[in-house]
Amino acid sequence: METGLASQNQLILQPIIENHLIELRRVSKAYDVAAGKFLALKDVDMQADAGEFVAVVGKSGSGKSTLINMITGIDTPTSGEVLVASTAVHAMDQEQLAVWRGRNVGVVFQFFQLLPTLTVAENIILPMDFCNTFPVNERRARAISLLEKVGIAEQADKLPSDLSGGQQQRAAIARSLANDPPLIVADEPTGNLDSQTSDAVMQLFANLAAEGKTVLMVTHERDLTQYFTRSIMLADGVIVNGRER
Amino acid sequence: MNSPRWKKILRDLQAARGRMAMMVIAIAVSIFGVGMILSAYTILSREMSANYLGTNPASAFIELDRVDEALVKAVSERPGISEAEATSWVGARAEVSPNEWMPVLLFVIPDFETMHVSTVSLEAGAYPPSDQTILVEREVLPMLDMKIGDALTVQTPNGTRQQVVISGTVHDPALAPAWQEQTVYGYISPAMLATLGESETLHILKVVVSDEPYNITAIESTVSELAVWLKSQGYVVDEIRIPPPGRHPHQSQMNSVLTLLLVFSLMALILSAILTATMINGLLAQQIRQIGIMKAIGARSVQITSLYLVMVVALGIAASLIGMPLGIAAGRGFASVVAQLLNLKIYSDAISLWVYIVLLLMGILIPLLVALDPILKTTRITVRETLNDYGISRDASASSLRDGWLSRIRFFDNTLILALRNTFRRRGRLILTLSLLSAAGAMFMTGVNVRAGWGAYLNQAAADRHYDLEIRFNSPVNEEQIDSILANVPGVEKSESWSLTPAALNRPDGLDIVRTYPDGGHGSFTLRSIPLGSQLIETPLLNGRWLEADDTNAVVLNQNAAAMFPDVKMGDEIQLLIEGQAKTFRVVGVIRQILTPSTAYVLPTTFTSVTGQPLELTNAVRVVMREHDDAAITSITRDVEQAFGEGSVSVKAMVSEALLGEAISGHVYIFIVALMLISTVMAVVGALGLTSSMGTSVIERTREFGVMRAIGARSKTILRNIISEGVFIGLMSWVIALPLSIPLSLGIGYLIGMMSFRSPLPLIMSPVGIAIWLSIIVIGSVAASAYPAQQASRLTVRETLAYI
């Protein structure tokens, strides 16, 4: 199986002084809006290492989602560098980003975003299919084992619409793990869940971090801080503090 | 196909089966329309030739003083002649009800069994006929409401009224259908002709040339040489008829229908491409967030592109599988209807391979081509853009001027203003929808307009004729005698002498060669005497002037006659062959005459000088009646008939306005059927496009409706908003379609008019067409938007906001 970032590192930036899994150097992002330019991120520097569970917090419009979009390659910086395991994400084109992201980043969305016409298991097999990462005959077994890991193996052959919100989010987490990426990025994954389900989901993420995955999560919810190893607070596009728990 | 991405496509197709079915139906309807038209085209063009050529049509018909077996044998051995045969034809009349007569064309066949040039085939009854019976063309019986075994009352020019039993029917595909021409075609032996009071001597020689049988110049050359030889052998050579080789008398009528069909099939093809583009855009609009998610989890653009292209191809194949067989079946049906109207037999309804190829390409390639660009564009949108597509703001094109104007409108409530604003928000989609609906509307209205133009053209033709009856006599009659007879017929207002004689282009060899078919009507050229100051026809001048009192050899040509002299200018002299003599005329004008064969008009004095017919005699009169409705015309015509019978005046033919109207209606019926069919296909495709477009618009904005409901909008408000938007788009397309239909109607009217009558059809903007399309648009808009609107209004706020 090919999961290492080194295989994708045609754009490695040398020399890397500190070997962080994620490193943002003076990243800025400006959007054109009717009133002119809106600076969503301003010269942001940030690092995260393997096994960290980092919360990205801040008010609405502070730049949280923009920040994680830079790291996942969903969006590109106006200036600055984004390095993930020494890969220069900011320098990739859309096609390179798709392949890189599929193998190296698991993305979890607030509204789960499971494809509605695929069963839960098929949703999890889909990233393996797109990235051709596991042998075809092993993919379903892997999907089931990931579903077992998130505790919904019995739901494997149901459609997402048959699942509760919490179950759908667990399925989305299992999907994010399909290609065994070192980095999991989640954008308010508990924003649409009740508190009990939120706790269970957060515990899943914490377990993943404990297994050595880096988990980056945007959240508004202050009572979840116990799960994070660190939080980064953003205000008006600037990191106002990076706090170890 | 076991891979989840292909499963996704299959299940997406299944999940959105309503929309997918609509898309398949829309493409299938287009394929159906084009398939029907192309199939009919391929069958009719082939079968018309097969029918006509199957009779082994003569290259020329040479009228001689006598034709016997020895001559036939000698001619068939002449160089350049492959076959020769003797025949005769006689113009007679049949009494179809008391004092109501119809023209009869009798073809005299010396030996039915060995006939091999311009043949006919037995349909029913006894073949050959006995020497006391008649065979009629198969279309005659339904026209006269008679059956085999019935007796037909026939009178030849030199004979008395006689009852002749119809012993059978034949199929003669070389003739225009009897009901269209309002003529009885009969086939008899020479002995039967003698019984009817005419000479048994045959006088027509049919010949088939061996070299270049479809080259009219080559035929003319061979036949001219033959005619010179015939003269040298002591025969009197009269008229030589060389009809356009290989062409059915109604070939131009058929070509016009086929051209009309081809033009509209091309339009249907364009419409189908726009429709497919609209559908594909709708499909992608629905899938855009899923595309974003797939890209977020590692799908490359090429993988997603191939998914959707395969989906489009699958839909195209499904549409082709539905549309193609139905279209071809309908095409066969349509061809069979037209064949029946034209009295053709369909020997084979096989469809050419190219039709299948075109339809398959249309079903698969067109959707693929129109889908490629939007699919590529959509799959290239960044993940952020696709995930941020909330169906509320993307691609919103604001116009401060427009919005400012809309916000000042006071007499509409906010829902309607919102609907108006929504209409303009997605400019790309709006342009596509408007293109589709406007194109469909313009084509529909063009179909109806051309039909109306045709009607106006025919009405104009009728309006240009200010007489109700034309009477032709077997020999010239004293005008005073005619006037006195007619003066005693109640209902006759006045009559004028309009003598006529066949004319031909004069040739250096002095031969009387005309382009007329054996029926004597199609392709004929006539010289007409017209009284000075006559008001019985309209004479709209295309060039020059009308005849004047002091004109001596002046001639005015109608546009069909003028086309025979392409380089002639006003004041030029032309030579016409009149009764075998070359006569010189000075062209002073050209008039436009609708549905009138080639005619040259001269003053009575000129007519007398070129024909030798005394001024006081006439061979044709035109009668004006006091009442002009069909019933009155028919009744007075019977009285005129009776009066001439009592006055012992031998009538050759009576052509009443009622009879002419029937014949003309017969000629245009096929066009009307074709245009109605085309308009219906266009209306169906347009309605489908509207439905698809509105459905797409609603799907795209499902989230927006969630927002609206979250802030207090009731289901009714959303429903009203969507339906108002649909109706507004429909009305906009109607406004665009109206002016668009003008050049289209003009163009097609020109094409069809020129092909059929050498004169463009008038542009008529049919209020009926405009109103029908408006109704289709309004009802269609409401219907098309009501269902998706109702579905959207039923979704809960949570469902709409989580809509993926």
Whole-number pLDDT of residue B619: 93
Chain B residues close to A95, C-beta within 8 Å: 300-302
Which of B723, B729, B666, B62 lies closest to B426 in space, CA to CA? B729
C-alpha–C-alpha distance, residues B637 and A206, integer Å: 106
Alpha-carbon dihedral sign for residues B219, B222, B223, B224: positive
Q: Does B804 touch chain A (CB under 8 A)?
A: yes
Distance from C-alpha of B764 to C-alpha of B754, rounded to nearest angstrom:
16
| CB of B396 less than 8 A from some CB of A | no
pLDDT at residue B800 in the model: 60
Tell me how far apart the terminal alpha carbons of chain B are, to the nearest angstrom.
24
Phi, psi of B757 (to 5 degrees): -130, 10
Task: Judge: B299–A116 Cβ closer than 8 Å, yes or no.
Answer: no
Helix (H) or strand (E) holding B406: helix B400-407
Model pLDDT, residue B397: 45
Q: Which residue has the tokens 């989890």?
A: B297
Chain A residue with minimum CA distance to B307: A130
pLDDT on residue B651? 86
Chain B residue with minimal CA distance to A99? B298
> How far is the alpha carbon of B51 from chain A, nearest alpha carbon, in Å?
58
User: A214-223, A226-235, B395-404, B632-641 — which is least confidently predicted?
Assistant: B395-404
**Chain A contact residues (CB < 8 Å to B):** 69, 72-75, 94-95, 98-99, 101-103, 107, 109, 111, 113, 115-118, 122-123, 125-127, 129-131, 136, 175-176, 178-179
Q: Choosing among A32, A33, A94, A169, which should be mutated to test the B contact, i.e. which has the most B CBs within 10 A?
A: A94
- Given an 8 Å threshold on Cβ–Cβ distance, is A116 in contact with B804? yes
User: Cβ contact (<8 Å) for B298 and A131?
Assistant: yes
* Helical H segments across B530-656, by residue range: 559-562, 604-611, 630-646
- Cα→Cα distances B537→B461, B462, B551, Å: 10, 10, 19
8 Å CB contact between B187 and B123 = no
Give tens-digit pLDDT for B326-358. 999 989 998 888 888 788 899 999 998 999 998
Stretches where chain B sits below pLDDT 70 are 1, 388-426, 428-429, 520-523, 665-669, 696, 699-700, 703, 710-711, 756-758, 792-793, 795-804
What gap in Å lies between CA B335 and CA B241, rounded to an integer? Answer: 31
Q: What is the pLDDT of residues B604-650, one digit of tens each?
A: 999 999 999 999 999 999 999 998 888 888 889 889 988 988 888 88
pLDDT tens-place string over residues B44-55: 888 888 898 899
Among A140-144, A151-155, B641-645, B794-798, which is the least confidently predicted range?
B794-798
**pLDDT of B338:** 83
Closest chain A residue to B15, measured at CA: A117
Sign of CA dihedral B567, B568, B570, B572: positive
Contact B294 A130 (CB under 8 A): yes
The nearest alpha carbon in chain A to B14 belongs to A117
- pLDDT given for residue B339 in this prediction: 86
Would the ipTM clear 0.90, i.e. be above it? no
User: Is the minimum CB–CB distance between B381 and chain A shorter than 8 Å?
Assistant: no
Helices B301-341, B251-296: inter-axial angle, 10-degree rounding: 160
Rounded to whole angstroms, how far apart are CA atoms A22 and A7?
17
Q: Considering CB atoms only, which of A95, A117, A131 is closest to B15? A: A117
What's the CA gap between B91 and B382, in Å, rounded? 82
Give pLDDT, residue A243: 55
CB pairs < 8 Å spanning A and B: 90
Q: Residue B670 and residue B339: Cα distance in Å, rounded? A: 10
Ramachandran angles phi, psi of A89, nearest 5°: -65, -35
Contacts of A98 in chain B (CB under 8 A): 295, 298-301
- Torsional sign, CA B749, B754, B757, B760: positive
In chain A, DSSP assigns E strands to: 22-33, 36-48, 53-58, 79-84, 87-88, 105-108, 183-187, 214-218, 230-235, 238-244
Q: How far is CA B657 from CA A95, B182, B461, B490, in A?
A: 77, 12, 11, 18
- Contact list in A for residue B302 (CB cut-off 8 A) is 95
Q: In angstroms, what CA-CA distances link B466 with A206, B618, B630?
A: 101, 20, 14
Residue-wise pLDDT tens digits, B727-765 = 888 888 899 999 999 998 998 888 777 776 667 888 888
Closest CA to A237 of A61, A24, A50, A92: A61
Nearest CB to B3; choose among A69, A113, A129: A129
Q: How far is A245 from chain B (nearest CA, A)?
A: 30
